[in-house]
């Protein structure tokens, strides 16, 4: 299938999967919350209180920690992202012509946002591995294709043990948006850049975040040039994220974790230190993934909502992220 065909098919496939019971949708309400001139969105979804929490996956495992079936080989774990797929959740397939890598497009079985879908590697790839150039290309082409038919989506990727990822099988996620992008985009658009082709930091944020602004005519680039630009932007941001991690003496051992957010205009990488934030007043653990750093947090009760607002979104995100060392990094670039 072509990207536009996939985007066009998602709404009807979502409705059908909902009717057949193959997909579960949890209604929610959104509250705007402003801190330090930054407007966040906090989504309240009480129905999630009844959804059992899955254990944090171990990304070194061969298969997924999700569901054991009679068809699962002894000693192996069932991987819902390997074929055969549930026909009502399987939107279609993509193939990168250069790498020959194949992807399945699957609806998110447990949706809080309608029409949330995933691009999953057909063969097992680790969710602790960085995004490859062809994966960046396919993701951006998906976001761009949506715009061409009057829809708005953005992509995100949770990488590593402390990123908030729920499955070890590599998957990039896409969610629709109704306005001009997730909250982080409004902040990124305000940034005045000294150099158009270099990463920048959103210094208003309470945590380390690295961003790259795409050229305004990126939609006119041939695929080869587009892939090269995306890969170069990703590597620059990843280098800065690793540098940020190295400046944290208490960073946990193991493969670095980070969140990736991709919109039409920007690429963002946020290095991660912890998967959960424990609310001081309630003791509740909040799982934070890339959507949290996009400015879109999820809570399960009015009490949790009140606790998040009282504690502060900026403090929560800093609690699972890292301190910015932007000034040191800028000095290093100048040297």
33 is catalytic: no
Contact present, 162 and 252 (Cβ < 8 Å): yes
Q: How far apart are CA 18 and CA 71, in angstroms?
A: 25
- Give strand ranges (E) for 29-81: 29-35, 38-44
DSSP string, 272-317: ES-SEEE-TTT-PEEE--HHHHTTEEEESSHHHHHHHHHH-HHHHH
Compute the Cα dihedral for 190, 194, 198, 201 and give only its sign: negative
Of 90, 171, 210, 266, the active-site residue reads 171
Angstrom distance (rounded) from CA 159 to CA 87: 27
Q: Backbone phi, then psi, for 187, in 5-degree steps?
A: -70, -40
Residue with tokens 């380390």: 208
| Interatomic CA distance for residues 201 and 271, integer angstroms | 13
Cα 243 from Cα 200, distance rounded (Å): 14
Q: State the catalytic residues.
A: 171
């Amino acid at each position: 299938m072509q990207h536009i065909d996939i985007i066009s098919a998602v709404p009807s496939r979502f409705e059908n999967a909902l009717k057949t019971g193959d997909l579960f949708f949890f209604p929610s309400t959104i509250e705007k919350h402003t801190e330090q001139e930054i407007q966040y969105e906090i989504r309240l979804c009480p129905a999630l209180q009844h959804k059992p929490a899955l254990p944090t996956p171990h990304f070194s495992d061969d298969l997924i920690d999700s569901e054991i079936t009679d068809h699962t080989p002894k000693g192996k774990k069932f991987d819902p992202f390997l074929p055969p797929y549930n026909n009502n959740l399987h939107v279609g397939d993509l193939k990168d012509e250069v790498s020959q890598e194949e992807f399945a497009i699957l609806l998110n079985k447990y949706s809080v946002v309608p029409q949330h879908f995933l691009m999953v590697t057909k063969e097992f790839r680790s969710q602790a591995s960085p995004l490859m150039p062809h994966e960046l290309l396919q993701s951006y082409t998906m976001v761009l294709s949506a715009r061409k038919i009057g829809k708005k989506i953005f992509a995100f990727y949770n990488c590593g043990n402390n990123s908030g990822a729920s499955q070890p099988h590599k998957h990039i996620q896409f969610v629709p948006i109704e306005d001009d992008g997730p909250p982080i985009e409004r902040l990124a658009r305000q940034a005045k850049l000294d150099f158009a082709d270099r990463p920048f930091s959103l210094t208003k944020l309470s945590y380390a975040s690295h961003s790259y602004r795409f050229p305004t005519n990126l939609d006119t680039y041939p695929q080869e040039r587009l892939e090269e630009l995306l890969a170069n932007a990703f590597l620059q941001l990843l280098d800065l994220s690793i540098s940020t991690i190295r400046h944290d003496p208490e960073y946990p051992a193991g493969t670095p974790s980070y969140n990736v957010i991709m919109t039409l205009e920007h690429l963002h990488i946020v290095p991660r230190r912890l998967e959960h934030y424990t609310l001081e007043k309630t003791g509740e653990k909040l799982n934070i993934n890339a959507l949290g750093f996009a400015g879109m947090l999820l809570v399960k009760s009015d009490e949790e909502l009140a606790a998040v607002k009282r504690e502060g979104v900026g403090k929560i995100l800093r609690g699972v992220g890292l301190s910015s060392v932007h000034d040191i990094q800028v000095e290093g670039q100048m040297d």
